[in-house]
Structure 1
Amino acid sequence: MYAVIIALITIIIIIFALYQKKKNALCISRRRLDGKTVIVTGGTAGMGLHIATDLAHRGARVIVACPFEDEGTNARKQIVKETGNENVVYKYLDLGSLQSVRQFAADILKTEDRLDVLLNNAGVGIPGDFLTSDGLNFIMQVNYYGTFLLTLLLIPLLKKTGKPGEASRIILTASMLHRIAKMEMENLNKTNYWNKIRMYGNSKLCLVLFGKELSKRLKGSNVVVNNIDPGLAGTRIYKSANTVLGNITILILNSCFKTPWEGAQTSLHVALDEEAGKVSGEYFINCEIGTPSKQACCDKTAKMLWEESVRLVKLTENELQHCFKSL
């Protein structure tokens, strides 16, 4: 009897996995990126590494960024070996430090003459609930505030690069967990207040709201910004709270939902697809425009979050104005 029950459960799991896998969309663009420059934050592991490798295969100059130098150096070597593209660079970037973000952006503006795609892929799961040296909640800073500041500081180069009919692209990596978020502006940075999973969801909701607001401010600039939802992909982010449970979760997700390579496909679609380059302020899932949560569509909340974010990352009014000027 038990053998029959186990067999039935196994069959159900297999059918469910096959159904889910069949729903996973793939990027079908064959576009080359010779002469183009892309930045992939978190491009040294998981989905980011797959994204960076694919773009390098297409001939792009690929800058991968992360706060782990050994990982970054090894990823750079791996990408070059797999693609034969020597124009791959690793640069240090710690999104948990506003100073590091500023140094990285200043270096890019000084050394690069163009930026075609800024792919904000980096993020953390739920490793801890504490404040950084900047006085910001760690999860919120790495997943949102650091990305917010980095994106704004690099807009001048993106504007310089974008042309009519060929816009520069900003991609923000959201998550379906933005749907469980709760937007309490005055409490976003509190510690010992949120459930850590909700805190993660809050950071992803902020990214969707940021994309909406930024798209309005970039209208007519030949720069587009869109959010992507990679789906449930089995990456190391699930190990952040517990290694054993994380490994089990990764195994289940890889088997029943998405591998990191499959999770990378929507990012690649939005970075490469011709039609995706013509829209801004959208939310993509499975290589199609989807609908985010109702909270994520509130213009008033997006504007309030923008103003609070500018204050928290310590952008002056003069700096903010400069961010929207082309080089």
Structure 2
Amino acid sequence: MGVKVLEFEFTTEDLPAPDQFDYVRAAMSDLPAPHDASTDHIDGFRLHQRKLNLDLIWVWTMAVQPITLRRTARLIRQADPETYNLVLVQHGTIGRTWSRHEATYGPHDLHVNDSSQPYVLRAHSTQGLVTCIGVEIPKKLLSLPVTEIDHLVGKRLPSQGIAALLGGFLVQLTTNTSAYRPSDGPRLGTVLTDLTSALFAHTLETDSTLAPDSRQRTLILRIRTFIQQHLHDPRLTPGMVAAAHHISTSYLHRLFQRDGTTVAAWIREQRLKRARRDLTDPALTTASISHIAAQYGFTHPAAFSRAFRTAYGIAPKDYRHQARADGSHPEPAPR
């Protein structure tokens, strides 16, 4: 089968009972986003965790006895990876306290933690371990402004539609990891980024407390997510994008002009980025350049070659040859 996606697994069952919680407490304080841990079950504490590395994103599963985790202002000053942690509860409950707010999440509930904000989490179960799945995603991967996503931190996210799709994907992703290879990591990370972005945008768009400008930004995010999910379609045009979102083409152009670009240019940029990534993918060494180009809507190989050279100053075949020759993933400078 070959090497799998980078995976780490830990269980306290491998440690002497008197040392189990001390190890957990030390591990929690040594995370990229450190936490203080406490529990009433110090003797024989049970915790089992698996973590998958998907390029810049981590996906984790945890089964744990009741525990309290505190992310304090002191710990934030000590270390802040600037990530969002999206948590899906499977069994038991997780209570969250932050600022002057409190919330409790049960099975199938999704909520968001922000590594830059203090909070207290209390995992509780009257029968068995608390189990959950989480996604740690860097804020920089999401195009929606942090000030707007802040509206979602701590809230119970919708359980239907995109949230159900994301939850199902997380369960499937973590149930059997043996079939995934290292080259699958960036692809799976892209899927998670798109789903998370779409969920945030959908939730914000339906929030009646948001200002009009915030609603406009969430619309842009939803449009960009739609484009990224349809890069394979050669019929992807500004007119198609506008029609799918029930807005005029002229309004769509104005939305992108705010960011100093055009719709067509952004579509072309995203297609070229995905194609560039696949050109250096070890799993696609036998795929022709024209096949890779067609996967991202370039129906004419010559047009793809011209667009790639214009954007990166190198022909796609030369870029691929350079990557194979030195075993690296060169990053051509955009022009």
Does the alignment reach a TM-score above 0.5?
no
Structure exhibiting the larger radius of gyration computed from Cα positions: 2
- Greater RCO, CA 8 A, separation 6+: 1
Which interval holds the TM-score relative to the shorter structure?
A: under 0.3
Instruction: Looking at secondary structure, tell me which structure has more strand per residue.
Output: 2
